[in-house]
Structure 1
């Protein structure tokens, strides 16, 4: 991690236009935020645009809320999404830093310069950014009364995710998943999670014909050591 932090400093100094990042809950450790704060300040003071995506659950974390407010006040842009697939940083759309292990950023990072890979990684960021909610704005509910977190939960449960799997992907506790699942069933007037999944499919939120994806989601989901 010391080598990674040293390289982050070098890439910060070389960046002139934009720095974007995905920031899952699993990567939000106090020491990481302490190390990144002066680097982000350097970028913003030089007029470099910073755009960062965190998970919706960050909205209830006082430490991360304070950090996000600090960066926003300096001109950074922050949005949140229900799930963030992995930690990543892209500098000037030409260099990407990706974790060696997507589920454990402490194992180090790999630096990527290949244009095809960097473009794909940046495209992932751009896609999530386009539907994420700006910090300071309450996530909007749709015509059915679902906010983005509930909609994502419906998708995960319909795909066969357990409470523990959904909690890990969404960065919340299993207790929160149980509470929100109950809210989802009430909103959909469903008597079970299975029925909620059927109703969600009928409304076009998920593709029930994509059984191979659902099987893979369940079979290949990471399990805690």
Structure 2
């Protein structure tokens, strides 16, 4: 029976052979990293997201399920980019917008576009954000005063944010300090950072705003209740003032800490200790007083963080770092 390949996911024969070898070996020794896998091939594995490189130069394979997931995401991103570029080249958005404007314009005197436009309702606000970011070409500035991005919000924002980053637009995002204590928010922020976004954490109050290309800005109608809607302005003076405010907040914020640099939480330390003592996940979860599902979720996160191919290796690497 013919062995299935990764070619349909955009992986060449040489890269796939190297990845399969890494899976068999677990990790290359630092001194053998280039000898075993050609430097160019190694770089390609890292770029594809199916291997990671330690500070010693050794390559570690990403677990198979995660590797395939990353390859699928990569193909989908590329396809989305091609479709978006085609839509832009055809001018379809401008054409559809003209239809809408023609239906509302006065027959004799064309209306003067307001410098500030009121957008009511979250659905309408999201539509405006999608439109602004679709046409962003140089820069996108965003703040989040609450510091929390719910999984639902991340699901809506992800394709928009990745589209902006794929086009080479500089994305800078300011998050309030609670982001550091919310695992799902941190995971999403690190996902964006890995794609090129610049993210900082502020311990001072933030004003909610989205600014695109320093030409258009979106601010809430009521900062205390963003669900009411937003104000869209293209007035150069107002936009410039908001950019200045953003830059001041940016200057006082700190860089997003990398996942590998962070010390584990107490629950993570306890879970790492159980890797050496608990024979089954059920007993480990019972010992810690958490569900098996939560226990396994923490282990998966720790293995990714430690770049470990298996649990035994995760325990060894954690001990080397003094985590347990």
Please give the TM-score of this superposition, normalised by the length of structure 1.
Answer: 0.58
Question: How many residue pairs end up in the alignment?
Answer: 138
Q: Say what the alpha-carbon RMSD is for the aligned residues.
A: 1.7
Contact kept in structure 1, 2:148 and 2:178, CA below 8 Å:
no
Match of 1:85 in 2: 206
Tell me how far apart the structure 2 counterparts of residues 106 and 30 of structure 1 sit (CA, whole Å): 17
Match runs of 1:49-198 below 5 Å: 49-136=170-257
Match of 1:7 in 2: 128
Contact kept in structure 2, 1:12 and 1:43, CA below 8 Å:
yes
SS in 2 for 1:86: coil
Contact kept in structure 2, 1:27 and 1:105, CA below 8 Å:
no
Tell me how far apart the structure 1 counterparts of residues 149 and 166 of structure 2 sit (CA, whole Å): 23
Report the CA distance shift for 1:33/1:86 in structure 2 as closer, same or farther (over 3 A).
farther
Tell me how far apart the structure 1 counterparts of residues 253 and 123 of structure 2 sit (CA, whole Å): 31
Tell me how far apart the structure 2 counterparts of residues 137 and 10 of structure 1 sit (CA, whole Å): 31
Contact kept in structure 1, 2:208 and 2:220, CA below 8 Å:
yes
Tell me how far apart the structure 1 counterparts of residues 159 and 250 of structure 2 sit (CA, whole Å): 24
Report the CA distance shift for 1:74/1:137 in structure 2 as closer, same or farther (over 3 A).
closer
Report the CA distance shift for 1:27/1:95 in structure 2 as closer, same or farther (over 3 A).
farther
CA displacement at 1:26 relative to structure 2: 6.9
Tell me how far apart the structure 2 counterparts of residues 43 and 102 of structure 1 sit (CA, whole Å): 26
Q: Deviation per CA, 1:72-105, whole angstroms, max 9, x where unpaired?
A: 0000000011133322100000100001110111
Tell me how far apart the structure 2 counterparts of residues 84 and 19 of structure 1 sit (CA, whole Å): 20
Q: Which runs of 4+ in 1 moved over 6 A?
A: none
Tell me how far apart the structure 1 counterparts of residues 242 and 164 of structure 2 sit (CA, whole Å): 21
Tell me how far apart the structure 1 counterparts of residues 175 and 219 of structure 2 sit (CA, whole Å): 16
Contiguous gaps of at least 5 residues in structure 1: 139-225
Alignment pair present for 1:40 and 2:175: no
Q: Deviation per CA, 1:55-80, whole angstroms, max 9, x where unpaired?
A: 12211110110110000000000001
SS in 2 for 1:32: helix
SS in 2 for 1:25: coil
Contact kept in structure 1, 2:143 and 2:210, CA below 8 Å:
yes
SS in 2 for 1:136: coil
Contact kept in structure 2, 1:27 and 1:87, CA below 8 Å:
no
Contact kept in structure 2, 1:54 and 1:84, CA below 8 Å:
no
Contact kept in structure 2, 1:22 and 1:52, CA below 8 Å:
yes
Q: Which is bigger in relative contact order (C-alpha 8 A, separation at least 6)?
A: 1
Please give the TM-score of this superposition, normalised by the length of structure 2.
Answer: 0.41
Tell me how far apart the structure 2 counterparts of residues 117 and 27 of structure 1 sit (CA, whole Å): 27
Contact kept in structure 1, 2:147 and 2:178, CA below 8 Å:
no
CA displacement at 1:30 relative to structure 2: 3.4
